[in-house]
A and B are shown apart, each in its own frame.
Chain A
């Protein structure tokens, strides 16, 4: 990926709870995702955190770390799948995440999304390093909550809590 430097990050980037108007919000649950990056020895990583449904189709973007649209093509899967979602960046962007740092994202999810074959996916890329679309894919289930999962190249662990 060839992009200029991204900001070396705050230890934690807290995403504002996103207020997507999903149905049955009253019965929804709050998802808290904690993503710990590896010490991959490069500039801050661009990350796209999103949901896909049981057929692998794009459902919703939870967070995009990294502000330059020029480089979103390096988050290849997300960029391709979410192409029809004109609001994919609405209120869910922040700075890129430095190597070894942690990204914390919270989102309100409808009950219907949980234990229904949905997957949390993260695409990652950093400058002069290899793009890693779908660096990690974790089924969104109550059973998986609280269990750290490991990613391929950039993600050390991904842990989520459901409240």
Chain B
């Protein structure tokens, strides 16, 4: 079972009972805070002997003094027939307010630890604590995966409102919830008798009256040498029983003292289990540390929030999950289809393939690539793998390669179909990797590796024909494109750069209808986005979205892209033709490797042409004035210096630290890498200081920039490759 499954199912099931623990916990956290108000700490030089004397003077019938975790001292005695318990001032033994152990009705505590069901309830609560510990731990694993490791743990969180709430609150309360559930388990174990706290049976000792009379405790060297701050409890001997003894309990153990001689008759050290228990109680209840009690109370309240947001996330994922119709069980299926796809775009092809195979009479089982395995019933295995980012595996299939390499070779022939985009140098890299591992393992191949460019339905149909031949069946693939749910955007303004007749360009600013918080919690409407993320635009009549880098984030209140008109490009023609008031259909696709995530290092931004758009977005939201340096390359400042007025203003506002431009179609012109070379000394200095680099533009431009930077970095024994590996260098190329 994966950490995700553990987190989800335990969270949903045990989580609703944990709501009871959390809510009651909030109330129970009140006590330590109230107790702290009564605390009058012992002065450093106060001995137990002096304390006993003072209290005895103020309350002659005192039987017991307790030192509460809050630091307060409470004396127990009798007022005539009436038992009494009062706070006492350790400075002078003065009797203060009456002592009440708790401000709350008893049932709150009992509900918290046994659901009012006695021992059965205690076992139940212990089980919830165990579940909670597991949920928190799995949550940490998932959090690290999502944020990209410990170093980015504090980074910006993206996703739907419910997801962001879950992660933002989760990363704060996770440790508190884990600690309180582990300590709860320890406390349960002692109560349920699984752990023994006591050192052994109490010694049967009595005071032996010699010739002496009983002495007041103040005269015992043992008590004189004992610091009142270390005291837990002091029991006075009964006046009526001549054999009664003094009993003193400290952090370290307990002792029995003869009332005549003042000698210690017996001493028991506190067991390790007892000391651990004492710590567990402090950590779980916050008694003796009221700020911690407040933290615990807040963590308790957060369980409600975490459970509700978790429920919404699960519900939404369930609704959006691709459900393959007619999916056979693994053990019965003769054809297995395994899929790796980051954003679900490949699932449309999967369903088409699945349906076609079922129509041919096969029993087909389709699943994620991370579940790769075969059974005796398996006759054919088909793998459909999309590549994500720079040739990585999609997140859900991250361990798939290792898994396939671990499994023994199967006898069923395998065909791998890759999905990607030829514009990227890593076209279908992951599908290639999968195929290589399968070949290396010795799996027979049904078809050679085929790669589908930009989700081409035509190419897919051709592959279907090859498959039909290999299977010798009349297989026909009917692919209907699947697009993520889109939102309608309204164009509010456009800024035109019509000067270049071969490729007019415009900066388009859109607005969208904001949904209510309930819709946003459920992930309806436009997803949260930041500059550097991508917006997918679906032109009317086409099923295939085109992606544009975003020059703004949700917090800017508008959605801005820079669109260049390509002759014959359906999507750019659609966008370029929009006038204010017109609408477009759009959805957000995250670009986590590229977007800046609240880092504080200096940033080097390198952009050419419309590639400046996401960089402009970064600068616009640079409210913290991180030093950002922009290198901008274009053709002619009069024609294609996009965002120029804004960039000038951002320089004045110190959102942008420096600007270097290079234009190619002016006398003495050149490309942006020329500007880099010119500025080599400063760039070296910046990169030595840990600066991060973002490059956006065409593929050729990206290559040239990397080459120029490699030359510049040579003397530092650094390379673009190394920077990429550290996540300091990212490209968005088109």
Q: Give residues in A with beta carbon < 8 Å to B.
A: 3-7, 42-43, 56, 68-70, 73, 76, 79-81, 83-84, 128-130, 152-153
Residues on A with beta carbons closer than 8 Å to the beta carbon of B106: 5, 42-43
**One of A5, A56, A69 near B118 (C-beta < 8 A):** A5
On whether the beta carbons of A4 and B83 are closer than 8 Å, the reply is no
On whether the beta carbons of A80 and B113 are closer than 8 Å, the reply is no
> Using a CB-CB cutoff of 8 Å, which residues 82-140 of chain B contact chain A?
83, 85, 101-102, 106, 109-110, 113-114, 116, 118, 122
CB of B79 to closest CB in A, whole Å: 12
Apart from A4-B114, A5-B110, A5-B113, 18 more pairs, CB < 8 Å: A3-B191, A4-B110, A4-B122, A42-B106, A43-B106, A56-B243, A68-B191, A69-B193, A70-B197, A70-B198, A73-B198, A73-B202, A80-B203, A80-B204, A81-B204, A83-B202, A129-B101, A130-B85
Q: Which residue from chain A places its CB closest to the CB of B187 in the assembled complex? A: A4
Is the C-beta of B347 less than 8 angstroms from some C-beta in chain A? no
Given A5-B106, A80-B204, the answer on whether A128 and B101 have CB atoms closer than 8 Å is yes
**One of B64, B76, B193 near A68 (C-beta < 8 A):** B193
Q: Which residue from chain A places its CB closest to the CB of B82 in the assembled complex? A: A153
A73 to B198, CA, bound (A): 9
Is the C-beta of B190 less than 8 angstroms from some C-beta in chain A? yes
Given A69-B193, A130-B64, the answer on whether A5 and B109 have CB atoms closer than 8 Å is yes
Residues on A with beta carbons closer than 8 Å to the beta carbon of B191: 3-4, 68, 70
A130 to B78, CA, bound (A): 12
Residues on B with beta carbons closer than 8 Å to the beta carbon of A5: 106, 109-110, 113-114, 116, 118
Residues on A with beta carbons closer than 8 Å to the beta carbon of B102: 128
CB of B233 to closest CB in A, whole Å: 10
On whether the beta carbons of A4 and B202 are closer than 8 Å, the reply is no
Residues on A with beta carbons closer than 8 Å to the beta carbon of B63: 130
Q: What 10 pairs across the A-B complex have the smallest Cβ distances?
A: A128-B101, A5-B110, A153-B83, A83-B201, A130-B76, A4-B191, A7-B118, A80-B202, A80-B204, A4-B113
A42 to B100, CA, bound (A): 11
Residues on A with beta carbons closer than 8 Å to the beta carbon of B64: 130
**Max chain B CB contacts within 10 Å: which of A56, A73, A80, A84?**
A80
**Max chain A CB contacts within 10 Å: which of B114, B190, B197, B204?**
B204
Q: Which residue from chain B places its CB closest to the CB of A131 in the assembled complex? A: B64
A128 to B63, CA, bound (A): 16
- 24 A–B contacts, CB within 8 A, in A order: A3-B191, A4-B110, A4-B113, A4-B122, A4-B191, A5-B106, A5-B109, A5-B110, A5-B118, A43-B110, A68-B193, A69-B193, A70-B190, A73-B198, A73-B202, A79-B201, A79-B202, A81-B204, A83-B201, A83-B202, A128-B101, A128-B102, A130-B63, A130-B83
A42 to B204, CA, bound (A): 30
A152 to B81, CA, bound (A): 7
Residues on B with beta carbons closer than 8 Å to the beta carbon of A3: 191
A152 to B82, CA, bound (A): 8
Residues on B with beta carbons closer than 8 Å to the beta carbon of A70: 190-191, 193, 197-198
**Max chain B CB contacts within 10 Å: which of A69, A73, A128, A130?**
A130
